[in-house]
Amino acid sequence: MTMVMLAHHFLVRLRHRLEPRGGDRQQATEESLPDPVVCLDELPPSLLPQAEPPRTPTLPQVRWLLRAALPVPVLDVALALALVAYTQRRNLAAYRSHRKRTLRQLTMQGS
């Protein structure tokens, strides 16, 4: 979920940076629309310029960008020991909680 939130935040900032209007979302009016292009030559459809698909980064591309933009944490002995202790505390709390629930269910079945 964190990756999704970071990717969303990155894409929103990228869109604001790349939009020529600075991110304003105004309704198009008749005056603001460009003049239509009129082609005087009768060209076959295959020779007409094709519209480019939107350039939206894919999930692997967003991962690459986030990996390049975010700092890599340094893992030293003190941090590794702290992470191990934290994980063991959380695992013990989960074990006790599940054990308590299992014992309660077994006593209800035995009654």
Q: Where are the domains of the chain?
A: 1-18+59-72, 73-111
φ, ψ of residue 47 in degrees (nearest 5): -95, -10
Rounded CA-CA distance 106/98 in Å is 12
Query: Higher model confidence: residue 58 or residue 86?
Result: 86
Q: Could you tell me the pTM of the whole model?
A: 0.38
- Over residues 11-70, the pLDDT tens digits come to 877 777 777 664 455 555 556 666 666 555 666 666 666 777 778 888 888 888 888 888
Rounded CA-CA distance 69/78 in Å is 26
Rounded CA-CA distance 1/3 in Å is 5
10 close to 62: Cβ distance less than 8 angstroms: yes
